[in-house]
């Protein structure tokens, strides 16, 4: 599944490195589902991970609260250690900053 969405960064993205030296960055994105004029609002939180150049770009150019456009992403099920179930994680292949 290819997924694209716009939202606000929910935390400071921190660049990390795997044992093999490749970079990655975990971050969350809040997406408001309210339509214009609709008083009912629901926030969807996306758990995201980016790799290599995209991870480095996000960690340098974005901070908590910034609007981010997540593009060309895939969704992967991962185990949820708290519940024993499964949660979805977005693997980000492209992202951009919006004004």
Angstrom distance (rounded) from CA 59 to CA 68: 12
**pLDDT surpasses 60 at 95:** yes
pTM, two decimal places: 0.77
Q: What are the tens digits of pLDDT across the range 19-65? A: 999 999 999 999 887 776 667 778 888 888 899 999 999 999 999 99
Please give the CATH topology (third level) of the domain spanning 2-34+43-97: OB fold (Dihydrolipoamide Acetyltransferase, E2P) (2.40.50)
Q: Where are the domains of the chain?
A: 2-34+43-97
State residue 20's pLDDT score.
95
Q: Cβ(29)–Cβ(7) under 8 Å?
A: yes
């Amino acid at each position: 599944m290819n997924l694209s969405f716009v939202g606000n960064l929910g935390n400071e993205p921190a660049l990390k490195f795997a044992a093999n030296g490749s970079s990655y960055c975990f971050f969350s994105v809040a997406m408001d589902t309210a339509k214009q004029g609709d008083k009912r609002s629901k926030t969807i939180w996306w758990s995201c991970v980016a790799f290599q150049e995209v991870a480095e770009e996000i960690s340098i150019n974005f901070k908590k609260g910034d609007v981010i456009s997540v593009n060309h992403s895939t969704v992967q099920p991962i185990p949820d250690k708290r519940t024993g179930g499964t949660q979805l994680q977005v693997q980000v292949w492209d992202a951009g900053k919006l004004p």
